[in-house]
Amino acid sequence: MFLSQSVLEQKKIKGDRPLDISVVVPIYNEVDSIPTLIDKIADILTKSQYSYEIICVDDGSTDGSTELLKQVAPKRTDLKAILLRRNYGQTPAMAAGFNYAKGEIIVTLDADLQNDPEDIPVAIDKLAEGYDLVSGWRKNRQDAKLTRLLPSKIANWLIAKVTGVKIHDYGCSLKAYRAELLADLNLYGELHRFLPALAYIEGAKITEIPVRHHPRRHGSSKYGLDRTFRVLMDLLTIWFMKKFLTRPMHVFGSLGLISLMSGFILGVYLTFLKLGLGENIGNRPLLILVAILIVTGLQLFSFGLIGELLIRTYHESQGRPIYRIREIIESKC
């Protein structure tokens, strides 16, 4: 049994998702891995008593992956191929898969065969214990130590410190989610690696499990050291969202108040020097500082008010998708 009784009861009550499990696989130039991966996922999931689908999202591949999916998808009732118009990146590709998934539980993994599909039932079993998200932990990671492992360890430690979500491996794509959790998350930029942190902001219950990791069999890695800088920029976004997503005035207003108060106190001091002691203050740098502090304080308050309006727009409006689909191919049977 993969799903707990409570999950099955929720499924019957909800009644709007006809499948139990959706496996979302973002693909970019992995033509040699696709057939083996699809067969392994299908073989493992057919052993269960739950219905499933495999969603392969082609993110503008140029190596023949697109053509292969066009050939395979119409012949399989368990496979849906979503072909994006160009290479948007892993986050939009995953978002497309999430939006078209019909399963009560959504599982993600990479297409390069380094994640092992045999860990999917283990993640689902763990999810059934009451968690909203189960993240994989590649304890014995099979990657280059200097260019992949070291930057990854530093990034994982930093992300855990900043976000407060204590998991070891943010970069592992093998994760299992409850579908209702993903419905509350809006992905953009390159925030797919921060999904546990975004889920935590939404109040999700998160855990991790050790998973297998294999050496890459085909092709080459799509990641380099430049990813570290993008991670740092995204981390700042996550930190702000975690602290001030629904209250930007708290950060901008506080800084503005400090600036205004400092300018006011220094202004009172200069006024005393001018009116009380008769000193000339026109050539004092402190006068310029007072003006800067007051103007800066007013600007920060304005930023806070604008931020509050933007947050309300963010929460109350329907956002545009961050991807464009060229074609969806699936069996008509």
Confidence of residue 78 (pLDDT cuts 50, 70, 90): very high
In DSSP notation, 58-92 reads E-S-SSSHHHHHHHHGGG-TTEEEEEESS---HHH
Residues 240 and 256 in one domain: no
**Counting every residue, how long is the chain?**
333
**Does residue 5 carry a pLDDT above 50?**
no
Contact (Cβ atoms closer than 8 angstroms) between residue 118 and residue 214? no
CATH classification at residue 125: 3.90.550.10
Q: Is residue 131 assigned to a domain?
A: yes
Average pLDDT for 140-150: 68
Residues 168 and 238 in one domain: yes
Measured CA to CA, the distance from residue 219 to residue 28 in angstroms comes to: 10
| Residue at 67: amino acid letter | E
Q: ∠ CA(229), CA(309), CA(247), 5° rounding?
A: 65
Average pLDDT for 287-305: 89
Confidence of residue 280 (pLDDT cuts 50, 70, 90): confident
Confidence of residue 322 (pLDDT cuts 50, 70, 90): low
Instruction: Count up the domains in the chain and report the number.
Output: 2
Q: Domain range for residue 220?
A: 5-244
